[in-house]
Amino acid sequence: MNKPTGDDDFEIELEVEVEAELRMSESSRPEEAAGRPLSEWLFDPADAEREDIGLRNLLSAVEELEADRRPRRRGADEGA
């Protein structure tokens, strides 16, 4: 099944956005915030961890979509 080029562009843009969000999430260092007094937290470290997990799952899904659309090569044992 062929998809319009617009879908490809959307998926590439989505992947770039998710990767940028992951970099921001990782740079926030939630593990350091957890060691500070609650009154100094700028965010809940548990929320940051849940967001990170969700972003990684979304990135995996986008990568899987891309992999599904790549042309598959026939192996030597698959016949002609």
- For residue range 22-31, list pLDDT tens digits in order: 988 888 777 7
Cβ 28 vs Cβ 43: under 8 Å: yes
What percent of the chain has pLDDT above 90?
21
Three-class DSSP category at 75: coil
pLDDT confidence band for 44 (50 / 70 / 90): confident
pLDDT mean over 18-40 = 84
pLDDT confidence band for 77 (50 / 70 / 90): low
Half-sphere exposure of 34 (CA within 13 A, CB side): 8
Q: How far apart are CA 53 and CA 22, in angstroms?
A: 9
Listed residue (46, 52, 66, 57) closest to 23, CA to CA: 52
